[in-house]
Chains A and B, each alone.
Chain A
């Protein structure tokens, strides 16, 4: 059973389009995250939600909007895609807000042309 799953795995789209990435975890965790990893492998947090409440909102363009319909799901919607949005986006989950192991999904490789 996959612990943290993301769809789609690959996403190729043109500039200006709007796209969504979905994430689901079956670990019973109450905290979920979105990270962006650039081509140089630098992994940076974008958002985190705890019990559907937004906790971390890093300096991310407001074209990015996360939505958490329930504790097991955290989706990421991106409006007006730009070339610089090309990256791998990882969803992760953990139990609680404090220190704890974060479990990562397999990533969604977004390519904007």
Chain B
């Protein structure tokens, strides 16, 4: 089992839809949970991070962590064509000071 599993894509939604992107992880030692966004032909950039169970909101984006289920989600409200990108969940553990990424899911928001 991979350390971080991400729902496969690609995903195509109409503009204005609510998008849910999900990851599961296997190591309960994981401490910090991040979402990176990667536009085509660019490097990933940090979108949001959280370290506790619960929700964290930033504009149209909400990151949700459920440590008991080892499940993390990113919700995008009122999705826009500019949200079209690959989204990668990433989890950090201090034990070896590294980020472990999920496989990434490519989202396309149709105008």
Residues of A within 8 A of B (CB): 4, 40-45, 48, 55-56, 90, 92, 97-99, 101-107
Contacts and interface: CB of A to CB of B under 8 A. Distances in A.
Given A42-B101, A44-B101, A98 B43 contact: no
B43 A40 contact: no
Contacts of B77: none
Q: Which 9 A-B pairs have the closest CB atoms?
A: A104-B43, A41-B104, A43-B101, A101-B46, A99-B32, A97-B97, A42-B103, A99-B92, A104-B44
Interface of B: 31-32, 38, 41-46, 49, 51, 86, 88, 92, 94, 96-101, 103-104, 106
Contacts of A56: 96-98
Contacts of B46: 101-102
A40 B94 CA distance: 27
| Majority SS at the chain B contact face | strand
Contacts of B96: 56
Contacts, number: 52
Contacts of B100: 45
Contacts of A101: 46, 49
B65 to A, nearest CB: 14
Given A41-B86, A99-B31, A99-B92, A106 B97 contact: no
7 contacts: A4-B43, A41-B86, A41-B106, A43-B44, A45-B98, A99-B32, A99-B92
Contacts of A103: 45
Given A56-B98, A104-B44, 18 more contacts: A41-B104, A48-B97, A56-B96, A56-B97, A92-B43, A97-B97, A98-B94, A98-B97, A99-B31, A99-B92, A99-B94, A101-B49, A102-B46, A104-B43, A104-B45, A105-B43, A106-B43, A107-B42
